[in-house]
Amino acid sequence: MLGGDDKVREPYADYKGWLDNEDIKRLHRKSDDAEAFFRRTGITFNVYGEDDGDERLIPFDVIPRILSGNEWRKLSRGIEQRVKAINAFLYDIYHRQEILRAGRIPVDLIANNIAFLPQMIGVDPPGGIYTHIIGTDIVRTGPDEFYVLEDNARTPSGVSYMLENRETMLHMFPELFAKIGVQEVSSYPNKLRRSLAACAPPKCDGKPVVAVLTPGIHNSAYFEHSFLADQMGAELVEGHDLKIVDGRVAMCTTQGYTAIDVIYRRIDDDYLDPLNFLPNSMLGVPGILDVYRSGGITIANAPGTGIADDKALYSYMPEIVEFYTGQKPLLQNVPTWRCSEKDQLGYVLEHLEELVVKEVHGSGGYGMLVGPAASKKEVEDFRAKLIGNASNYIAQPTLALSSVPILAKQGLSPRHVDLRPFVLVSPDRIDITPGGLTRVAMTEGSLVVNSSQGGGTKDTWVLEE
């Protein structure tokens, strides 16, 4: 909100003028109201590995994060370039593999990667789209410095919190939105349905039938699955609701089985089809991959997209962007050491106290080391893990992440944040929702923003031009 000289940054000027005339006690009451609303609505998530297994509320902060229209334009161009490159890479890697032939990335990185699905080789997804929904995690380190922290190309989550955060802010502070021009995000569910329908399979006859496939109520993101199905006017289904009928995937209804054209799946590849992947999976649909390969259904995101957001591949994204677009990346990558390479592992082991180390297939902030915040024992324990299984890890420098204010007990206090914009890809367009989900580290000084690690969220405002 404030620059280095303590002057109000331009995007925050109108908001700061409003805030200076607000009673801090009123803001705290509004914060309590927001928590009560989230609790009534059931906006919760589950934390895996917790003994009590309780559902939790994600902390919501009422001070918005604000970006100017100009800042957003710069981000949007970079995100669109990256998304196009990811989709082109996926098509290539499951077809002619030109990028491997050109020697731009190592063959072993693909061939020995569990996220690469040989079953997808030669398969043409409907509309040529692999990544229908992408969440790109971005951090800011300076006024004009943005880095992509990671790409989420499998089953990115969090968009329901983006929508509910905005709805809550509109309800609590309507006068603010009358005073400040903020770009809307509420059209996301309609755009999602339209984008998915535009990728209907060749065997679709008539208006595409869309369904959301969820693992069930015990999944950490079940609220989001049911929320999006409701907002899109789509069916929410589980694996046991579906079966293969006449070469199509059909859902059980009161009128019998009805064919589905597009499945927005929120389960991992391994559990999608017990005939082709994990044979003991109770979450998927036996034979669904065969129907997919024959053009009988669209699966969003396509099976096998995980190879594009694998953390081992992340360090090659600048080469991937340039290879498929012919341009230098507009958004920078965070410098990354691949621990699978002996010389890079040596550097990481020598500087472990300074680095952030992540599992290649990890997510949710689990299985990582934040060196500067770790104890000596944690560092040494992680050193042993690295030596024992180096190829399972990558390392990155600890970035000086930007901070934004939160409403603390005594007033405003800075906390580190990242940003996850959500992107919809269809054959004829790319839609990037203006804003996205700002995740905030609620603990002072912490760099870990994941909700599973105690992080919270904010409404993200992109100002109108």
Q: Are residues 391 and 420 in the same domain?
A: no
Beta strand 429-432 with 44-46 is unpaired
In degrees, rounded to 5, the angle at the alpha carbon of residue 145 between the alpha carbons of residues 144 and 146 is 120
Per-residue pLDDT tens digits for 310-333: 888 999 999 999 999 999 999 999
Mean pLDDT score, 353-364: 80
Q: Is the pLDDT of residue 380 over 80?
A: yes
Residue type, 369: L
Mean pLDDT score, 393-405: 89
Q: Are residues 96 and 157 in the same domain?
A: yes
| CA 433 – CA 422 distance, rounded (Å) | 6
Q: Are residues 303 and 367 in the same domain?
A: no
1 found inside a domain: no
Q: Are residues 349 and 236 in the same domain?
A: no
Per-residue pLDDT tens digits for 5-58: 889 999 999 999 999 999 999 999 999 999 888 888 777 665 544 444 556 778
Per the structure, the complete domain to which residue 237 belongs is given by 10-334+399-462
Q: Are residues 145 and 199 in the same domain?
A: yes
- Which residue, 347, 378, 397, sits at the end of a domain? 397
Can you give the length of the chain in residues?
465
**Alpha helix ranges (H) inside 159-299:** 159-172, 174-179, 188-197, 222-232, 288-293
Q: Are residues 70 and 206 in the same domain?
A: yes
**Alpha helix ranges (H) inside 173-296:** 174-179, 188-197, 222-232, 288-293
169 found inside a domain: yes
Beta strand 403-408 with 393-397 is unpaired
Per-residue pLDDT tens digits for 162-187: 999 999 999 999 999 999 999 999 99
Q: What percent of the chain has pLDDT over 70?
A: 95
451 found inside a domain: yes
3 found inside a domain: no
Q: Is the pLDDT of residue 98 over 80?
A: yes
Q: Are residues 368 and 453 in the same domain?
A: no
Query: Is the Cβ–Cβ distance between 334 and 149 less than 8 Å?
Result: yes
For residue 432, the model assigns a pLDDT of 98
5 found inside a domain: no
Q: Are residues 384 and 408 in the same domain?
A: no
Beta strand 422-426 with 145-152 is unpaired
| CA 422 – CA 83 distance, rounded (Å) | 11
For residue 370, the model assigns a pLDDT of 85
Residue 266 in tokens = 């929120």
- Which residue, 363, 381, 397, sits at the end of a domain? 397
4 found inside a domain: no
In whole numbers, what is the pLDDT of the chain averaged over residues? 92
Q: Which residue has the higher pLDDT, 340 or 104?
A: 104
Residue 3 in tokens = 């620059």
Q: Kindly write down the DSSP assignment for every residue of 31-86, as one continuous string.
A: HHHHHHHHHHHT-EEE-TT-SS--EEEPPEEEEEEEE-HHHHHHHHHHHHHHHHHH
Q: Which residue has the higher pLDDT, 107 or 38?
A: 107
414 found inside a domain: yes
- The alpha carbon torsion through 40, 210, 422, 435 (nearest 10 deg) reads -60
Q: Are residues 204 and 138 in the same domain?
A: yes
Q: Which residues sit opposite 231 in a β-bridge?
A: none
- Which residue, 397, 423, 438, sits at the end of a domain? 397
Q: Are residues 227 and 369 in the same domain?
A: no
Handedness of CA 106, 108, 114, 116 (dihedral sign): positive
For residue 400, the model assigns a pLDDT of 79
Which element (helix H / strand E) includes 416? strand 411-420
Name the region of 67 (left: φ>0; alpha: ψ -120 to 50; beta: rest): beta
Check: pTM over 0.85? Answer yes or no. Answer: yes
For residue 38, the model assigns a pLDDT of 85
CATH number assigned to the domain comprising residue 360: 3.30.1490.270
316 found inside a domain: yes
User: What total number of domains does the chain contain?
Assistant: 2
For tokens 């990728």, name the residue. Answer: 199
Q: Are residues 25 and 159 in the same domain?
A: yes
Q: Are residues 120 and 48 in the same domain?
A: yes
For residue 442, the model assigns a pLDDT of 85
Q: Is the pLDDT of residue 143 over 90?
A: no
Per-residue pLDDT tens digits for 222-240: 999 999 999 999 999 999 9
For residue 48, the model assigns a pLDDT of 47
